[in-house]
Amino acid sequence: MSKKDVKTVSSRTRAEQKEQTRRAIVDAAFRMLSAQQSFANLSLREVAREAGIAPTSFYRHFKDMDELGLTLVDEAGLMLRQLMRQARARIAKGGGSIVRTSVETFMEFVETNDNEFRLLLRERSGTSKAFRSAVYRELQHFIEELADYIKHTTHANPKSALWEADALVTIVFNAGAEALDLNKHQREELSKKVIQQLRYITKGAEASRKSLL
């Protein structure tokens, strides 16, 4: 192996190690969140200790805790959007109810990724403007993706599709907040209610589109 090849491998290894440490910091912060522990109450030293690194090493990956928090918000939002994309893809291939599949997928996310969802929920109305703006952007991405889906499957005009998507996301997101404190049976009942509420909205939107023809 030439010196150039050795240098290339060495650089790649350092980059991979840096990414692994960054990932360890993010995962550590997510693990530390809970019903009792919000991101605002986490300290840099606590996160570094959980990640297994020295506090000074933290600054090689994030400028400060605020930058880490914004990264967590972005990751939580992306995780949810990816799950919903997968749900829509399953419907496109195998059929089924888009409303039911979407609600069930969302509730599974809340149940299995409750720390991530709590982060979005808390920072949505938190004291930090930067965090509120980040959550707002994530929700807007969510709404816009759903609006595109509605537009292409129902041929709704862009504004109507956006309004419909906004209403659907608002109901589902608020239901997720309620679901955090419910047991399995209660969540199932909540899901049934939400599915029916979303169907009211989609049927109303469909009737409105037909009336304009």
Other CB atoms within a 10 A radius of the CB of residue 142 amount to: 20
Q: What percent of the chain has pLDDT over 70?
A: 93
Q: Is 140 exposed, middle or buried (0-12, 13-18, 19+ CB in 10 A)?
A: middle
Residues of 143-171 as b/e, b for ≥16 C-beta within 10 angstroms? bebbbebbbeeeebeeebbbbbbbbbbeb
What is the spatial distance between Cα 91 and Cα 109, in angstroms, rounded to a whole number? 18
Q: Identify the pLDDT of residue 12.
A: 67
In this structure, the dihedral spanned by the alpha carbons of residues 201, 142, 67 and 37, taken in order and rounded to 10 degrees, is 40
pLDDT value for 6 = 43
In order of their start, the domains of the chain are 1-62 (1.10.10.60), 64-211 (1.10.357.10)
Q: What is the pLDDT of residue 210?
A: 78
Low-confidence ranges of the chain (pLDDT < 70): 1-12, 212-213
pLDDT at 58: 96
Report which residue type is found at 112: T
Q: Can you give the pLDDT at residue 130? A: 93
